[in-house]
Amino acid sequence: MSTKKKNILIGEDDPGIVEVITIVLKDYGYIPHTASSYKEITAILEKTPIDMIFLDVLLQGESGSDIAKSLKSNSATSAIPLVMLSANMKLQEIAKESGADGYLSKPFDLEDFISLIKKHT
């Protein structure tokens, strides 16, 4: 029995974090898709069935919170689990207001990151 590999979208503009997350996702058998802007996120979502989204609170000057609200209010993307990422001290509040399904504070433990994926996919 083979299981379909999960497509995980990472909305993050820090190249170092993107690199680490990409390596970890591949090591755990996930297919990473990375985007550093809302435009890139929507382009990926239009062509790839995404199983989960991790989204930074601030993305190249764009509000991750606004992006999350937009994705959660769109019937095509609202059911995709979305977790907000940030070092912002108000992350829990921001995630709740954005309609996100969860949040993960930076810097984060990679086991916590993988646990969130397993929980939501």
pTM of the model: 0.94
pLDDT means per 10 residues, the chain with 121 residues, are 82 94 96 96 97 95 95 97 96 96 94 94 91
The pLDDT, as a whole number, for residue 51 is 97
Residue 33 lies in a domain: yes
Question: Where residue 106 sits, what CATH number does that domain have?
Answer: 3.40.50.2300
Show the DSSP H helices in 1-121 as ranges: 15-27, 38-47, 64-73, 91-98, 110-120
Residue 2 lies in a domain: no
The pLDDT, as a whole number, for residue 3 is 64
Nearest to 80 by CA among 102, 65, 97: 102
Q: How far apart are CA 74 and CA 70, in angstroms?
A: 6
Domain that holds residue 93: 7-120
Q: Look at residue 58 and give its three-state secondary structure.
A: strand
Residue 31 lies in a domain: yes
In the chain, the number of structural domains is 1
Residue 47 lies in a domain: yes
